[in-house]
Amino acid sequence: MSEFADSWQETWVNINGEYVKGPEATVSVLDWSFVYGDGVFEGVSVVDGRILKLDEHVDRLYRSAKRARFGLEDAISREEMAERWLDTARKNEIDTGYLRPLVSRGEGPMGISNHGEVDGPNVYVIPQLHRSSGFKTLSSARARLSSIRSPSPVVRDPRVKANHYMPNILAKMEIADTDASVPIRLDDDGYVTEAAAANVFVVNGDTVLTPDDQQILSGTTRAALLDLLEADDRWEAEVTGLTPYDLYTADELFVTGSIGGVKAITHLNGDPIGAGEAGPVAAAMNEMLVDHLIENGTPLE
């Protein structure tokens, strides 16, 4: 059995406040998250017994749910939600791992005009005890520009962290047989948006640039890094439009996310970025972020 399958047997999943062991943790086929992808979620890291950016993840979940009109505020308060995540981490004795809180509209008859008959929302907290990538260490990878464009915010607002990850999965699959593991996506006008599940940063001298958050998921890690940069006079942060040209000609390129932390991108479509290896700024950002996020994380106990 794989390490994941092994640990899944022992994982407690929280479904609407009740704990169920992983293999028994199932959802109804009438759950609209299953039928229509009608759900929103978060990906939350637990590192050294602390939940990182707990309030920011809760806030983003509630903003996504508000846009989706799930009535989440009426069903469960933010404080209860945060406590449920902490309790799920405690119950699973997670020291370092991952939580996937997911809220669906609920269960109801099929047919999108039946939204009024859906009984919900359903709140799931799914832990993953096994993790392959280290949050603390600066990892590196090669990237490729994806042919799968980010949807325009007028079609589907990327700030809603909704369960429609098929394009993100396809972007990953598209490059599976290449030298790269990070797809970098563009919008319809050719501007850089984000990776499949991470935000993009470029380093030019002492300026660190990232696309604005109109057409990306507003990452909690990105926001934390921008705050840190604001308070640090070694670097300037700039939020601006970036094209592939800016990526190819950068001194350094890196991506950020709650699960992977900072990942240096050494090559784009086979071309070396800067020296073609993880650079000093990505390393400094990683150190700054890791220290800050763990120090300010919410202890489980």
Query: Strand pairing partners for 184?
Result: 145, 195
Instruction: For residue 128, state whether it binds ligand PLP (rule: CB under 6 A).
Output: no
Instruction: For residue 163, state whether it binds ligand PLP (rule: CB under 6 A).
Output: no
SS3 call for 46? strand
Contacts of 12 (CB under 8 A, 6+ apart): 19, 20, 21, 22, 88, 91, 92, 127
To ligand PLP, the closest distance from the beta carbon of 233 in angstroms equals 24
Footprint (CB under 6 A) of ligand PLP, residues 179-208: 194, 197-199
Instruction: For residue 222, state whether it binds ligand PLP (rule: CB under 6 A).
Output: yes
To ligand PLP, the closest distance from the beta carbon of 107 in angstroms equals 25
- Of the ranges 1-9, 171-179, 218-226, 289-297, which one interacts with ligand PLP (CB under 6 A)? 218-226
- Considering Cα of 208, then 287, then 265, then 213, what sign does the dihedral take? negative
With contact defined as beta carbons under 8 Å apart, do 211 and 190 qualify?
A: no
Nearer to ligand PLP, 21 or 156 (CB): 156
Strands 207-210 and 236-239: parallel
The interface mask with ligand PLP, positions 252-281, x = CB under 6 A, is ----xxx-----------------------
To ligand PLP, the closest distance from the beta carbon of 84 in angstroms equals 19
Query: Strand pairing partners for 44?
Result: 99
With contact defined as beta carbons under 8 Å apart, do 264 and 254 qualify?
A: yes
Contact residues: ligand PLP, CB under 6 A = 43, 168, 194, 197-199, 217, 219-222, 256-258
